[in-house]
Structure 1
Amino acid sequence: MSSIESRGPNTPEASRYLPVDPQTLGLLRILRIGDVELQLDGHRLLVRGTPVHLPHKEFVILRQLMENAGRVVTRRELLDNAWGPDRTDARNYLEVHIRRLRTKIESNVDQPTRIRTVRGVGYVFDLPQDD
């Protein structure tokens, strides 16, 4: 199941992530698909509840994929969003960052079930299958 959630500052879940003065912060925006949780305001990634280091470019790419879960995001869309439309030499960078993201969120990098390549088009963040 995919969701964008807001957690109020007084909920038990939010208290783990908020600084000392939660009254000034409002709500956390979170993208959650299966056991992958991306905290947009805190710039944090949790996989199966475990924090995972995520550099800025990987955060930008993962956010775009998760916000468009179930839909193919073209290489051009990802490149434009992460590096800007004037950057024409970043294709290899994108492939490297996708590979790094897979090592962080996939159980088996060689058989990805979350970030899937659509040959010649781009990538899709697949929604988990309901059993």
Structure 2
Amino acid sequence: MNVLVAEDEKDIQNLLKLHLEENGYTVFTAADGLEALAIFKNNVINLGIFDVMMPRLDGFNLLRKIRETSQMPIIFLTARGDEMDKVLGLGLGGDDYLVKPFSMAELIARVGAHLRRNYEYSENNSINKANLNVGNLALDEDGCCIYLDGVLVELSAKEYLMLLFLMKNPNKVFTKKQLYRQVWEDDLYYDDNTIMVHISRLRNKLETDPRNPEYIKTIRGIGYKFHISKVL
């Protein structure tokens, strides 16, 4: 698997490269966002690890450029611990967020989890998978995609996996921790904001009125459920 590390601090860049390569990954490194973008365009990259504050092109704008053509998992690394920065990064389409200083073991675990889940999302050769049709939504599990009024909706791997889990368990309420465990396969590094941002992104893409959702309901003080009256 190929990992792209975009980090302008050379010591951190070298440390990330060393540990990732020790765990069997092929690592491409870049000192700024424009260099990282060029590497991405000329190589097959499976996952990105991006610093937020970089010269020439910062991590958030690098993410915007990459999301024009790819839904690969992207993990942000930053010294900025501000909650709004985290929400912004996830809201733009990032999959995860670590604040420096971070545990290298935690980073490696997250890289493995994201790559594993993204691989499962991309696989189209499973058999005997059913389609789910709810209202104006049609989920094609065999093709790993969702249609809204017959039009394909672009979802990230995590958005698709969360929606699939909710749709296959209609009208059941799940806590944020249960959703995180199911989609990220991780109990240790559970994060409320990650779930809330991904739910918000799904609502913006699927609901007629995201502020008054028809499908993905908030159960105050508990979590979320996928509300349906009838499965076709």
Q: Same fold (TM over 0.5)?
A: yes
Structure 1 residue ranges, 4+ long, deviating more than 4 angstroms after superposition: 24-28
Q: CA deviation at 1:86?
A: 3.0
Q: Does 1:64 align with 2:165?
A: yes
TM-score between both structures, scaled by the size of structure 1:
0.72
Q: CA deviation at 1:90?
A: 2.5
Distance in 2, Cα, partners of 1:89 & 1:28: 29
1:4-19 pair list within 5 angstroms: none
* Structure 1 residues 50 and 71, CA gap change in structure 2 (3 angstroms): same
Q: Does 1:47 align with 2:148?
A: yes
Partner-residue secondary structure (3-state), 1:32: strand
User: 1:74 — aligned with what?
Assistant: 175
Comparing 25-34 and 94-103, the one that deviates more: 25-34
Comparing 24-33 and 99-108, the one that deviates more: 24-33
User: 1:29 — aligned with what?
Assistant: 130
* Structure 1 residues 92 and 48, CA gap change in structure 2 (3 angstroms): same
Q: CA deviation at 1:29?
A: 2.4
Report which of the two structures shows the higher radius of gyration computed on alpha carbons: 2
* Structure 1 residues 51 and 85, CA gap change in structure 2 (3 angstroms): same
Root-mean-square deviation over aligned CA pairs: 2.1
Distance in 2, Cα, partners of 1:66 & 1:25: 18
Partner-residue secondary structure (3-state), 1:37: strand
Gaps of 5+ in 1: 1-23
Q: CA deviation at 1:37?
A: 1.1
Gaps of 5+ in 2: 1-124
Q: CA deviation at 1:27?
A: 5.5
Q: Give yes or no for contact 2:177–2:190 (8 Å, CA) kept in 1.
A: no
CA offsets per residue over residues 45-69 of structure 1, 9 Å max, x none?
1011111001100011001110111
Distance in 2, Cα, partners of 1:62 & 1:84: 15
Q: Give yes or no for contact 2:126–2:142 (8 Å, CA) kept in 1.
A: no
Matched residue type, 1:67: K
Q: Give yes or no for contact 1:79–1:85 (8 Å, CA) kept in 2.
A: yes
User: 2:220 — aligned with what?
Assistant: 119
Partner-residue secondary structure (3-state), 1:64: helix
Matched residue type, 1:86: D
